[in-house]
């Protein structure tokens, strides 16, 4: 599981580096609660070694919810049935095995 998390973090870092138009300054990550913030930062430090993201500041934000509606506006919400309270469409649930995700990158 730890290896999988490290692999996932490597993929996230590759994505962050690809998204950064210019020099990567900060990486914002979402945590879905199944993992401690410290652990996410440790994974980031380990997975970013020898990449352009090495030494870049990582910020971990608690996601708060596993549901995201892509139909209306990317609204995140808590729900039993996954129906978006805003537009009534069934939203996507972040899979159980996803503990963290890339949120956004800052570059200059």
- What residues line the site for Zn ion (CB under 5 A)? 69, 71-72, 84, 86-87
Nearer to Zn ion, 13 or 69 (CB): 69
CA distance 42 to 103: 17
The count of other CB atoms within 10 Å of the CB of residue 13 is 26
Shortest distance in whole angstroms from residue 66 CB to Zn ion: 15
Nearer to Zn ion, 63 or 69 (CB): 69
Shortest distance in whole angstroms from residue 76 CB to Zn ion: 10
CA distance 35 to 100: 8
Nearer to Zn ion, 2 or 73 (CB): 73
Shortest distance in whole angstroms from residue 70 CB to Zn ion: 8
DSSP type of residue 36: -
Shortest distance in whole angstroms from residue 61 CB to Zn ion: 21
CA distance 83 to 100: 23
Contact between 108 and 22 (Cβ < 8 Å): yes
């Amino acid at each position: 599981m730890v290896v999988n998390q490290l692999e996932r973090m490597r993929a996230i870092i590759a994505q962050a580096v690809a998204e950064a138009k210019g020099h990567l300054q900060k990486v914002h990550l979402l945590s879905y609660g199944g993992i401690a913030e410290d652990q996410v930062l440790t994974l980031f430090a380990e997975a970013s070694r020898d990449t352009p993201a090495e030494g870049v500041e990582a910020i971990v934000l608690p996601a708060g919810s596993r549901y995201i509606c892509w139909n209306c506006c990317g609204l995140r919400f808590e729900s039993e049935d996954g129906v978006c309270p805003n537009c009534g469409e069934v939203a996507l649930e972040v899979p159980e095995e996803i503990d963290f995700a890339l949120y956004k990158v800052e570059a200059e």
